[in-house]
Amino acid sequence: MTTVPKNRQSIYLIAAHPHWRESRVTRRLMTAADSARAAGAQIDINDLYATYPDYAIDAEVERERVEAADLLVLVHPIQWYSMPALQKLWLDEVLRYGWAYGEGGSALLGKDLWLVASTGAAEDSYHPQGYNRYFFDAFLPPYEQTAALCGMRFLPPLILHGARSTDQASLEAHADTFAERLASYPDWPEMDELGVCATCVVPAQDRPETAPVEAPAS
């Protein structure tokens, strides 16, 4: 049974799976999130592919949901060593310059970002001698730097490898851990060791207000 701390904080959970109802992992995680919310955790859940089946993201609404949260949770399968297409589009549309990062972009400052992902391949395939050639951590820098650029802490990811072949007991244990983490946030044992958010200052010359005018060809 999960317990919700008295100082619970708001969570915005974005699930991005094109067919999550057919996915035994993502479907189970969504059920776990619903259970944590029913137990009292303040969780705003967005099934991204159901909300925006036409890929027309309402960026203003999304920014309001992000601003209301202390923790942003990305739940999705790893597809081609990255996130699903609609999740990437969400980042492109929502995390705009001057709001999420850069001059005046402090809306996410001090928030936390947590990746909860699954891979179809087994963990040992993410190895220099495996067919994925790299340890899985090698594919995390884009997530980490996205968090850093926006002034967020990147929390230790929760990853389930071998989603297609994992046994039911392992899946249930994974879902239980997920639900417990949602319910107990921010009272995680490792929080004190993470330190403050990174600071990434974007020089003004990297984002000029107007593009330089090219001289006409002579």
In which residue ranges of the chain is pLDDT below 50? Answer: 1-6, 218
Q: In sequence order, which ranges of the chain are alpha helices (DSSP H)?
A: 24-38, 48-51, 59-67, 85-94, 141-149, 168-184, 191-194
Question: Per-residue DSSP letters for 62-121?
Answer: HHHHHHT-SEEEEEEE-BTTB--HHHHHHHHHHS-BTTTBSTT--TTTT-EEEEEEE-SS
What's the pLDDT tens digit per position in 128-170?
A: 999 999 999 999 999 999 999 999 999 999 999 999 899 999 9
CA distance 56 to 89: 9
The pLDDT of residue 22 is 83
Instruction: Tell me the backbone φ, ψ of residue 26, rounded to 5 degrees.
Output: -65, -40
The pLDDT of residue 6 is 46
The bridge status of strand 43-47 relative to strand 71-77 is unpaired
The pLDDT of residue 196 is 80
The CATH class that applies to domain 11-206 reads alpha beta
Q: In sequence order, what are the beta bridge partners of 118?
A: 77, 160
Tokens of 2: 């999960």
How many residues does this entry show for the chain? Answer: 218
- Residue ranges per structural domain of the chain: 11-206
The pLDDT of residue 5 is 45
Tokens of 131: 């067919």
CA trace torsion 182, 186, 189, 193 (10° rounding):
130
The answer to whether the beta carbons of residues 45 and 30 sit under 8 Å apart is yes
The pLDDT of residue 205 is 84
CA distance 165 to 150: 36
The pLDDT of residue 210 is 58
